[in-house]
A and B are shown apart, each in its own frame.
Chain A
Amino acid sequence: MTSPPRRFNLFQRLLHWLMAACIIAMLFIGVGMVSTITPKYLPLILAHKTLGATLLVLVLIRLALRLRYGAPPLPDDLPKTMKFGAKLSHHALYGLMIVMPLLGLGMLWAAAYPVVLYGAIRIPALLSQSDTVHTLLWNAHFYLGFAFFALVLLHIAAGLYHALIRRDGVFETIAPLPRRDSATPAE
């Protein structure tokens, strides 16, 4: 067993920021598309489905990297409750990243809609039509979407707190580029 890394590796960091941009786009596309009847409804929904399927693939890669390479430890002086909150919110974020695309796919399948992505890529249905299942998955996708947005905001707030207020090196573990005097966490 090697000692825990001081930072997430480059691929993990790139994946984090790429997915961050896509997830924020997804949340905005999601609330935007369901509130419009203009022609942009169609490209928005196509983008939402295509990005969603892409994110499902990306999160699986990310999870594998996380299990393989682990994560840098949090600073020793971080209060226990904050450490616990950090752990819990990261589990919830991973959970939502995995569950949201599956709920989205499932609710389309349960409504007997063909799932066709950008480039006419078709995802075959793994569920048959069901009013009950559709309603259940639709509600879960809808309400968890708002929970996801709240959690993303919390995550951004925590990241900024580490970067700007606590300046404890936690932000630098995931920052896309190292800072010139990159702080060493957990010293």
Chain B
Amino acid sequence: MNQPRNLPRSGLGPLVLIAAILGGSVAAFAYTAGWLSSQRLTPEKVVEALTPPGGVPPGHRRNHAKGICFTGVFEANGNGVPLSSARVFEQGRYPALGRFNLGTPNPDAADATVRVRGMGLLISSDDGHEWRSAMINPPVFPVSTPQAFHGLLLASASKDPNAMKTFADANPEIAAFSDWAKTAPWTASYAEEPYHSLNSFIFTDGAGGDHAVRWSLLPAAQPVPVSQVDLEKRGPNFLEQEIRERVRTAGAQRWTMAVTVADPGDPTADPSKAWPQGRRTVPVGTLVVLRIEPERDGPCRDINFDPTVLPPGIRVSDDPFPAARSSVYRKSYDLRTAEAKDYPRTEATKP
């Protein structure tokens, strides 16, 4: 039937239509990918804003780059069950793995120069699910939104002497964090710090009821205030030396996991706003840190403490940070694992 010479009968119309469909598809794809929107805040832009003045130290996390691994157990006391059906709240012992760290993109930063200390934590349950989180010691986050966090990174790296002041005027919520940074006592140990989720999450109980919560790990060790000047005399890596020594000589270190339940109307979408004092707080268990290992060959090295890796019974809330952190942490993980040869493991070379 159709002979090739009959083809031109269809004219130019179909060709134009085909070109339009293909061109439209490519344009829609480019738009979706963000190639046409230079304003879009991408994970790459956040990672770039985290670059320290000396350049990226390849193979390391793009933020909270300095850290040390721990392993231990989470001992659930069962009190969390009325809040969440997650297996990790049923009375029992669950393997825990984590990382003490400093809030800096520089893995060689001197410990006494970094104000924010953090803990990455992964608790596994026997149903195969994991609960990952990354917490820090200030009681509030500096800013309200991921966009403002990006702005804060740009302002702190800016050469403009007024950049921080301009930023603080536009983002007055930073005052609470700044007060903490100026006035809160320093300690000489990771073991004496509390670590707060700051972000709000939703716990769902067995009956399907939702509870907006934040949680904190509160240290059993008594905090001993130390001045920053004294800490500067202790050498650049005293925190890692101290925690290894403490666990080796004094044994396991403990934190109580305290879950705070929001009242209706409490700000769940803004981690820069503390919830009022006196909110119901439920101690759901104890984190027991049993063993410390250097990051280079340690079990925390390969883990992305993505706070959106959650077991059934816990999910994200309207807080925009966990999604943003997940996106950026993933970018950081992709980059650093591709650079692993620049941060070589030592185990492989041992006989």
Other-chain residue from A27, A40, A165, A187 in contact with B10 (beta carbon distance below 8 A): A165
Would B28 and A42 count as touching, CB distance under 8 A?
no
Pick the contact of A77 from B4, B17, B323 — CB < 8 Å? B4
Distance of B254 from chain A, by nearest CB (Å): 26
With most chain B CB atoms within 10 A of its CB, the pick from A75, A138, A167 is A167
Interface residues on B, range: 35 or more
C-alpha gap A187/B316 in the complex (Å): 60
Answer whether A112 and B316 are a contact pair too, CB < 8 Å, given A153-B22, A156-B25: no
Q: Are A160 and B4 in contact (CB under 8 A)?
A: no
Known: A28-B28, A28-B29, A32-B32. Contact between A37 and B21, CB under 8 A?
A: no
* Contact indicator A38/B320 (Cβ below 8 Å): yes
**A157 sits at the interface (CB 8 A):** yes
Chain B residues contacting A27 (CB-CB under 8 Å) are: 29
Q: Which residues of A contact B42 (CB under 8 A)?
A: 35-37
Q: Is B228 an interface residue (CB 8 A)?
A: no
Q: Is A34's beta carbon under 8 Å from chain B?
A: yes
B40 to chain A, nearest CB (A): 6
Looking across the interface, which residue of chain A has its beta carbon closest to that of B325? Answer: A37
Asked whether, in the complex, the Cβ of A34 is within 8 Å of the Cβ of B128, the reply is: no
Chain B residues touching A, majority SS: helix
Would A160 and B129 be within 8 Å (CB), given that A36-B34, A37-B323, A77-B2 are in contact? no
Closest to B122 in A: A112
A114 → chain B, closest Cβ, in Å? Answer: 5
Best-surrounded residue of B21, B323, B333 (most CB of chain A within 10 A): B323
Mark interface residues in A62-90 (1 if CB within 8 Å of B CB, else 0). 00000000000001010000000000000
Let me know if A94 is at the binding interface, CB within 8 A: no
For B276, the chain A residues whose CB sits under 8 A away are none
> Can you name the residue of chain A whose Cβ is closest to the Cβ of B130?
A114
A147 within 8 A of B: no
Contact B337 A167 (CB under 8 A): no
The residue on A at minimum CB distance from B26 is A153
B29's partner among A31, A39, A42, A167 (CB-CB below 8 A) is: A31
CB contact between A42 and one of B3, B312, B326 (< 8 Å): that residue: B326
For residue B92, give the distance in angstroms from its CB to the closest CB of chain A: 19
Given contacts A34-B43, A39-B320, A111-B304, contact A135 B33 (CB under 8 A): no
Interface membership of A134, Cβ < 8 A: yes
Minimal beta-carbon separation of A187 from chain B (angstroms): 6
B189 at the interface (CB under 8 A from A): no
From B15, B28, B46, contact of A165 by CB (8 A): B15
**B 16-49 contacts with A by CB, 8 A:** 17-18, 21-22, 25-26, 28-29, 32-34, 40-43, 46
Q: Could you tell me the distance in whole angstroms from the C-beta of B329 to the nearest C-beta in chain A?
A: 10
Query: Which residues of the partner chain A approach B17 to less than 8 Å between Cβ atoms?
Result: 160, 164
Residue A129 at the B interface, CB < 8 A? yes
Q: Residue on B with the closest CB to A132? A: B340
At the interface, yes or no: A10 with Cβ under 8 Å from chain B? no
Interface centre among A132, A156, A160 (most CB of B within 10 A): A160
Chain B residues near A116 (CB-CB < 8 A):
129
Q: Which residues of A contact B316 (CB under 8 A)?
A: 39, 42
Cβ contacts under 8 Å, B328 to chain A:
37
Is the CB of B54 closer than 8 A to any CB of chain A?
A: no
Contact A112 B22 (CB under 8 A): no
A4-41 vs B, CB cutoff 8 Å, 1 = contact: the mask equals 00000000000000000000000110011011111111
Tell me the complex Cα distance, A112–B44, Å. 22
Tell whether B207 is near chain A: CB-to-CB under 8 Å: no
Asked whether B308 is an interface residue with its Cβ less than 8 Å from the other chain, the reply is: yes
B334 within 8 Å of A (CB atoms): yes
- Asked if A37 contacts B146 (CB within 8 A), the reply is yes
Listed in ascending order, the chain A residues whose CB lies under 8 Å from chain B are 27-28, 31-32, 34-42, 45, 75, 77, 111-114, 116, 120, 122, 124, 129, 131-132, 134-135, 138, 149, 153, 156-157, 160-161, 164-168, 183, 187
Given contacts A38-B146, A42-B308, A112-B303, 9 further A-B contacts (CB under 8 A): A31-B32, A31-B33, A34-B43, A37-B46, A37-B146, A42-B322, A131-B337, A153-B26, A166-B2
The 5 closest A-B pairs by CB, nearest first: A164-B14, A35-B34, A31-B33, A131-B340, A37-B324
